[in-house]
Amino acid sequence: MNYDCKDEGLAPRGKKRIEWADSNMPVLRLIRERFEREKPLDGIRVAACLHVTTETANLMRTLKAGGAETALCASNPLSTQDDVAASLIKDYGISVFAVRGEDNKLYYEHINSVLDIEPHITMDDGADLVSTLHKSRRELIDKVIGGSEETTTGVIRLRSMESNGVLAYPIVAVNDAETKHFFDNRYGTGQSTVDGIIRSTNMLMAGKRVVVFGYGWCGRGFAMRARGMGAIVTVVEVDPVRALEALMDGYNVAPSSRAAEFGDLFVTLTGDISVIRKEHFQNMKDGAVIANSGHFNVEIDIPDLEEMADSRETVRDNLVRYTMPDGRKLILLGEGRLINLAGAEGHPASVMDMSFANQSLTAEYLTKERGNLEKKVYRVPESIDRNIAELKLDSLGVEIEELTEKQKEYLASWQMGT
Ligand code: ADE
């Protein structure tokens, strides 16, 4: 088996942590038990490019239990948990290519190593695997049945491939499942972003002026949690409906030029490029902290900051202090990479349970539908979404209400009014 990790000796620690995460992933465990019996992925090779975390490890175990041959690489150079990579290789016999802190060259070498298994299914988080396959490994396309995509940024890239007529096989947008983005993007990102910022800085959130860029599901989640910790939250948003929603949710709404002047902490969650840039760095207060929780490290214009600053100093893990020519200090967290994974452990297992239940059932769906799908971006079938919600509620011991026959009839009729 081919692999590349930092240190195989880290495996025992990784295994304990993977098992701990598993204890909070009951839905995925149920799927794994069924997969073990039914082997729906027998003979299927899955190439996965995901954050290499304890939660992802349990997804990989599930795919393997289903009969798949798997290979995993990182979807971000700074999100790999090296002990998890080691344990997947040593304890679970899964081929992993990931080293925390790998440079861009090694990152793409690892993507190519994963593609070397000649996948039937690609499983992506950010679409780097799919785009590498389409750009430089086209000889593999014929074997691919389909792929799945975990995150908003990846879905946007894939929809652009579809509309440009270059998408070569069907993709299921796992991100768009309700049991994914309502929970993972909102409550997962909300909590883990606060976690990453606090672990990196040990700052007090109470009373801080926090500026949140983007009011999508991730921005909503982070704004909500920052407020919960006593921060005074301002939202910067380009979409008028979302901006209005932020306002009516009780946040201050302002353009970035104004917010730059008063923010203590700036967090980007937009999926777009150069959201915080030169004109903002010029006007920020001394001591302002800047972090990104979007997928790629493009939201903060770090080259601008590097060019403007007189010097930079690493003060603690994931924290660099830039000194500007006028003496102000600006603090950048996690090299502008997604702070919830660079500075903490990503979303809690309990929420990844649903995201990765979607991934597992999507792999099964793609296998069953082999040859029946077009070169398009698809939604996760509604039946899968509902099933996951029911299983999650069950695992939490929560019962819900059922419609009476009379209510069903009423909802199905158009004749009955007042
Ligand atoms: N994305 C966000 N949090 C994650 C986690 N814990 N594992 C894998 N991918 C993630």
Residue 417 has pLDDT above 90, yes or no: no
Cα–ligand 1 centroid distance for 55 (angstroms) = 7
Q: Residue written as tokens 């201050």?
A: 252
Mind listing the pLDDT tens digit for each residue in 192-206? 999 999 999 999 999
Over residues 297-304, the mean pLDDT reads 97
Q: Locate the domains of the chain by residue range.
A: 8-180+347-395, 188-342
Residue 416 has pLDDT above 90, yes or no: no
Q: The tokens of 213 are what?
A: 């860029």
Over residues 237-241, the mean pLDDT reads 98
Contact (Cβ atoms closer than 8 angstroms) between residue 175 and residue 153:
no
Neighbours of 15 (CB within 10 A): 20
Cα–ligand 1 centroid distance for 184 (angstroms) = 9
Residue 418's pLDDT band (boundaries 50, 70, 90)?
A: confident
**What letters, b where the CB count within 10 A reaches 16 and e where it falls short, cover 367-389?**
beeeeebeeebbebeeebbebbb
Cα–ligand 1 centroid distance for 205 (angstroms) = 23
Mind listing the pLDDT tens digit for each residue in 82-141? 999 999 999 999 999 999 999 999 999 999 999 999 999 999 999 999 999 999 999 999
Over residues 287-307, the mean pLDDT reads 97
Q: Is 51 in the pocket of ligand 1 (CB under 6 A)?
A: yes
Total number of residues shown for the chain: 418
d(C-alpha 238, C-alpha 257), whole Å: 13
Q: Is 346 in the pocket of ligand 1 (CB under 6 A)?
A: yes
> According to CATH, what is the number of the domain 188-342?
3.40.50.720
Cα–ligand 1 centroid distance for 214 (angstroms) = 20
Q: Is 352 in the pocket of ligand 1 (CB under 6 A)?
A: yes
Which alpha helices (H) appear in 239-347, and where do they start and end? 240-248, 256-262, 278-281, 302-308, 339-342
DSSP string spanning 166-191? ---S-EEEGGGSHHHIIIIIIIIHHH
Cα–ligand 1 centroid distance for 232 (angstroms) = 27
Domain 8-180+347-395 matches domain 188-342 at the CATH topology level: yes
Amino acid at 58: N
**Residue 360 forms beta bridges with which residues?**
none
Mind listing the pLDDT tens digit for each residue in 365-386? 999 999 999 999 999 999 999 9
Q: Is 347 in the pocket of ligand 1 (CB under 6 A)?
A: yes
Q: What is the pLDDT of residue 328?
A: 98
Mind listing the pLDDT tens digit for each residue in 26-74? 999 999 999 999 999 999 999 999 999 999 999 999 999 999 999 999 9
Contact (Cβ atoms closer than 8 angstroms) between residue 365 and residue 147:
no
Q: What is the pLDDT of residue 336?
A: 97
Q: Is 193 in the pocket of ligand 1 (CB under 6 A)?
A: no
Bin 102: left if φ > 0, else alpha if -120 < ψ < 50, else beta: beta
State which of 56, 151, 222, 359 you would mutate to test the pocket of ligand 1, scoring each by most atoms of that ligand within 8 A of its C-beta: 56
Residue 389 has pLDDT above 90, yes or no: yes
CATH architecture type of domain 8-180+347-395: 3-Layer(aba) Sandwich (3.40)
Over residues 151-167, the mean pLDDT reads 97
Q: The tokens of 36 are what?
A: 């073990």
Taking 3-state DSSP, the helix, strand and coil percentages for the chain, each rounded to the nearest 5, stand at: 50, 15, 35
Residue 172's pLDDT band (boundaries 50, 70, 90)?
A: very high
Q: What is the pLDDT of residue 363?
A: 98
